[in-house]
Amino acid sequence: MSAAGRFAPSPSGDLHLGNLRTALLAWLFARSTGRDFVIRMEDLDRVRPGAAQRQLSDLAAIGLDWSEPVIWQSARREVYRAAVAELTSAGETFECFCTRREIQEAPSAPHAPPGAYPGTCRDLTEPQRAQRRGDRPAAIRLRADTASFTVHDQLHDQLHGDYTGEVDDFVLLRGDGTPAYNLAVVVDDAAAGIDQVVRGEDLLSSAPRQAYLAVRLGYPVPEYAHVPMVLNTDRIRLSKRDGAITLAQLADHGIDSARALTLMAESLGLAAPGESVDVETLLRRFDPARIPREPWLFTPPG
């Protein structure tokens, strides 16, 4: 299986400029290192009809290409359940009947971060579990044997060194049977040969859990690069309320996909102001060491 990088959007709406910039960086990282590039639709939760196709069209519009077929998480539910079954047969999971509110209100261990799972259901006896099953469906949690895990991040290492984050008994399958994000991405990355994960730095805190789970499942841990975000002028992550941030919205203001690519390239130091570029030109110029470490403050037109 070839090594690969990936971009994994949720088809809950159109991609905005921040999403597209991250996709561009993921493509540049992959292609500059001779890797394949994979698109995965993370469609286990919210899905808006037509959003996935528009996302693929927008990625193609800025010049990105990828290996077919596109991966759909919704078609892989049994694969995720098989991974959980493997862990369960080894005694590495447990049933949890707690609601989110109960977890938030439960006394936590000293020095535990807010919201960390307090271990309420970890050591229930079988009679106790049988009694609780009548109250609500159980989620399945990983029985963690560490409180933290360290990952190496290609970008953050140059500023902060390796990144260590908390690992608690996190959810693998939700109570309704839906595979949890941390499980699905780890299983999918391993299955597709993804050994390079480039994504927004807002997801850095999830990397230790995912890397730890990969080790528990016997998978290789990918290389990470968590790239700076695109923020609005209030230094808040771009969102729908900002307006004029998708390719379609930018086009309404006279900014076509080629110009949008130029704006992203300028923000990355890969193009002079107003210079017309394409992704092949950016690939020749790309150097991860020169990626700006600060967020890009973008002012939507109009």
What residue ranges do the domains of the chain occupy?
4-75+229-297, 77-189+197-221
CATH topology of domain 77-189+197-221: Rossmann fold (3.40.50)
Please provide the DSSP assignment of 251-292 as one string. Answer: HHTT--HHHHHHHHHHHTTSS-TT----HHHHHHH--GGGS-
Predicted pLDDT at 160: 52
Binding residue numbers = 6-10, 42, 96, 98, 117, 121, 181, 199, 240
Q: How many CB atoms lie within 10 A of CB 299?
A: 9
pLDDT at 114: 64
User: Quick one: pLDDT at residue 238?
Assistant: 84
In this prediction the pTM is 0.93
Q: Domain spanning 4-75+229-297: which CATH class is it, in words? A: alpha beta
How many whole angstroms separate alpha carbon 59 and alpha carbon 75?
Answer: 22
Binding residues for ATP: 240
**Spatial separation of the C-alpha atoms in residues 229 and 200, rounded to whole Å:** 6
Active-site residue, selected from the candidate residues 48, 133, 160, 240: 240
Which residues are documented as binding site for Zn(2+)?
A: 96, 98, 117, 121
240 included as an active-site residue? yes
Question: Which pLDDT tens digit goes with each residue over 131-149?
Answer: 998 888 999 999 999 999 9
Domains 4-75+229-297 and 77-189+197-221 share a fold: yes
Low-confidence ranges of the chain (pLDDT < 70): 1, 108-115, 156-161
